[in-house]
Structure 1
Amino acid sequence: MEDESEVPDQVPAQEEEEQEQQQQQQEEGEEQEETPPTDTNPPNEELDAAGQEERVPEEEEDAEEKIVEIGSILTAEAVGQHLSLLARTGNGLSHAYTRLEIHGKPIENIDVLETYLHLRYIDLSENGIVDISALASLEYLLSVDFHANKIKRIPASLDKRKYLQQANFAKNMIESIDIIDWPMLAWLNMNENKLSAVNLQEFEELLHLEARGNKITTTRGINSRKLEKLYLAGNQISTIELEEKANLQILHLRDNKITSLDGFHENLKSLTYLNLRNNLIEQFEEVWKLASLPHLKTLNLSDNPVTKLPNYRLETIFRLKSLEKLDKEPVTDDEREEAEQFRPKTSATTQGDVAAV
């Protein structure tokens, strides 16, 4: 059994330049929203028991080695040909391979992995996997990528993965998240599943959550106080509940069924980017509620009924003083000046008042 001190403290973050480029794409309102790199695994390195980086040369492959065909049942022989990242074991006397990557195969059954206790990084994306219960014995997992499989549930046996920091389950058939204790998880992708709710009661370290393209109706249940980025576009959300999200910086709620913005309040003091494109917001009064967000810089309300009202842009700029970009267009100094001059006419304007003009 490995010594717990051998497990790295954290998975290295994504390249800063990639993050900045993705953030820029978001703020420009491009159709493809920010998505972390497909390979979410950390660099090919590990920490020894003293916390020092160590690289261990991998064995050279035999040029004449027979390639094992991979069928619906993953075999030990096939696993052996796809292992990498040799790392020191807990007692420091031997080494074991800690990374497994197999993509685009007809794999359905991965029960063989029950005995690979040293695995820390697993990428089995784009296969046909149905059940991942075999991971229950893998205590030291740091990163898993199972996107584009046929998984219907995350079994309760995977609770208490105390080192897991990154998990990608996008493009599966998962209907609920019942895991309650992944205490170090920082990055979770649940895009394009069948979720109707998100129950993340104990994900205290979660910084980045994606759950686009599901059937979620409310933001209730996302109780991660450290959350910085939340992507819930393409759901059926009608109510917003975002209490205790003081660290939230980016919020994507595009393509939902939102009519009221009551859930936005001054506690969201770090929110700088808000995408509400293509919802059902009709009244200026709802937009005014966003004035409680002290640092909101980028707002997208495109394709909402309220944007069709006269003087919508001036009204919004006047009410939301911190805005730098509205509906993908920069807010200019001339617009700010015009909005201030427009003030006497808009101080008590509602949709009904405008319609009567």
Structure 2
Amino acid sequence: LPRMSEMDVNGDLSDVEGEDEANAVRELTKDDIHERLSLLWRIGNGYTFVRLDLPNNSLSDVSVISRYSHIRFLDLTNNNLTDLSPLAAQDHLLWLKVDKNAAASFKGQPFAGFPFLQWLSIAANRVTDLDGLVGPAALESLNLTGLTTLPTWCLLGNKLETTKGINLPNLRKLYMAQNVITRLEGLEKLERLTILHLRDNQLESLDGLSPCLKSLQYLNVRCTMYWSSQTRHVQRGVRRVLETLPLLSEVPKVPFFRSFVRFYCTKLLYCVTFGH
């Protein structure tokens, strides 16, 4: 069963990196679905399989999936999908993983139509901006490393240059490592955010961190351009910005070590790594 509350985002994209499969691009069939359905679940007065795993199938068309609206957990990792609109009928989805596909935009995508979706990962696609991003109220986790109520979101390994456009006030976990983000914008709307993961980007400053991030408990900006200079000016700038965050109102005076430093507060761990 997929774990909606946890995700390994500290390492490399081991599950989404590598050479593309040499298989011919193809269309999803009913036979494919029947072979890969699992996890028996009670629905109303009966039972049905609610988990569908379709990774590494070179799929470019999954239209047939619209006939299976009972699916709760769906994995489409490492295919050739540019359009996710055929998933619109999956209005009972709780968990969706579409890592390493070819989606380049959120416009026209069906995420807003998933009222129960709690975990979404779109790592290692071709997303360059967040225009058109609208999500469900239940979403808590979003992995963009590479939705309005999404708890977790992963956008890891894409081509995003800014954090602007994330209008998800109930978002709690945001993973945007391994993009090309140079500036932090629009974060003031994420008042419930507890985790912000921005490792391996090109941040020029932390000026976009907002005092409105009153729930933030973990911030990771390791291996970014901002930390290439270990001057006292940069160190003072870090402290000044972090002290604007509510949970960092009393940052302890801990010296900056050469390669690793942690600030411990009552509820917040702030972690920065210089170098690699």
1:244 Cα deviation from its structure 2 partner: 4.8
Q: For 1:116 and 1:241, how far apart are their aligned partners in 2?
A: 37
Instruction: Summarize deviations over 1:97-128 as a string: whole Å, max 9, x none.
Output: 22211222222221211211222221121223
Q: Which has the larger radius of gyration?
A: 1
SS of match in other structure, 1:292: coil
Matched, 1:182 2:133: no
Structure 2 length normalisation: TM-score?
0.69
Q: Which residue of structure 2 aligns with residue 122 of structure 1?
A: 74
Distance in structure 2 (CA, Å) of the matches to 1:232 and 1:154:
15
Q: Which residue of 1 aligns with 2:238?
A: 287
Structure 1: gaps of 5 or more residues:
1-10, 27-31, 39-69, 193-199, 298-318, 332-357
Please give the alpha-carbon distance, in whole angstroms, between the structure 1 residues aligned to 2:88 and 2:181. Answer: 33
Q: Provide closer, same or farther for how the CA distance between residues 295 and 89 of structure 1 changes in structure 2, counting only shifts above 3 A.
A: closer
Q: Does the 8 Å CA contact 1:165/1:184 hold for their aligned counterparts? A: yes
2:121 equivalent to 1:168: yes
Measured at CA, do residues 216 and 172 of structure 1 come closer, stay the same or move farther in structure 2, by a change above 3 Å? closer
- In the TM superposition, residue 260 of structure 1 has moved relative to its aligned partner by 3.8
> Which structure's relative contact order is higher, taking Cα pairs within 8 Å and 6+ residues apart?
2
**1:328 match:** 260
Normalised by the length of structure 1, the TM-score is: 0.56
Q: Aligned to 1:84, which of 15, 23, 38? A: 38
1:151 is matched with: 103
* Alignment of structure 1 residues 1-357 onto 2, 5 Å: 13-14=4-5, 32=11, 72-90=26-44, 92=45, 94-154=46-106, 156=108, 158=110, 159-177=112-130, 178-192=132-146, 203=148, 205-234=149-178, 235-277=180-222, 278-280=224-226, 283-284=233-234, 285-289=236-240, 290-293=242-245, 295-296=247-248, 320-321=251-252, 323=254, 327-329=259-261
- 8 Å Cα contact 2:125-2:157 kept in structure 1: no
Report the Cα distance in structure 1 between the residues aligned to 2:89 and 2:219, rounded to whole angstroms: 41
Using the TM superposition, give the Cα deviation of residue 13 of structure 1 relative to its aligned residue in structure 2, in angstroms. 4.5
Mapped to 2, the partners of 1:123 and 1:250 lie a distance apart of 24
For 1:269 and 1:226, the matched residues in 2 are separated by: 13
Query: 144-153 vs 222-231, which deviates more?
Result: 222-231
Asked if the contact 1:237/1:258 (under 8 Å) is kept, the reply is yes
Q: Percent identity between the aligned chains?
A: 30
Residue 251 of structure 1 aligns to a residue in which SS? strand
User: What is the aligned length?
Assistant: 245
- Classify the secondary structure of the residue corresponding to 1:163: coil
Please provide the CA RMSD for this pair. 3.8
| Aligned partner letter, 2:115 | K
Greater strand percent: which structure? 2
